[in-house]
Amino acid sequence: MLHKDLADGRWFTMTIAEQLGNVGSEYSRIISSRKRKDNDRFNSALERYLELLDLTISDPRWDFYRKRELLRLREHSCEDFPEDLQKYFDRFALLARKHKNIDR
């Protein structure tokens, strides 16, 4: 497990926006390493991406419908790693940042 500290509980205190914003960071690394044809970085980013997405899916706070959406996301994103999916993740990152700024 690459993200042991997150799996030990910290991940499950984050909002869905924070979780998917972090997942999206790894997705971005997948896309950029694929463009550069850097297989080592691609595989590392893929492993981190799947681990974070699986942690999100396993979060007990999310109901059946949210988990179903997350499982579809996992399936769709791994088919061909479409670049336009990055926009999906970016929206969550912006939402998480907005909420973080409000809380300050």
Q: What is the mean pLDDT of each run of 10 residues along the chain (104 residues)?
A: 68 94 96 97 96 95 96 93 92 88 58
Percent of all residues in the chain with a pLDDT value above 90, rounded to a whole number: 75
Give the Cα separation of 18 and 21 in Å (integer).
5
Please say whether the beta carbons of 36 and 95 come within 8 A.
no
Determine the residue type at 24.
Answer: G
Please say whether the beta carbons of 3 and 52 come within 8 A.
yes
The structure's pTM equals 0.86
Query: Both tokens of residue 65?
Result: 């419908």
Give the Cα separation of 49 and 30 in Å (integer).
8
Cα distance from N-terminal residue to C-terminal residue, the chain = 32
Q: How far is CA 24 from CA 4, 41, 48, 77, 103, in A?
A: 19, 16, 11, 11, 22
Task: Give the sign of the dihedral formed by CA 53, CA 25, CA 34, CA 77.
Answer: positive
Instruction: State pLDDT tens for residues 54-63.
Output: 999 999 999 9
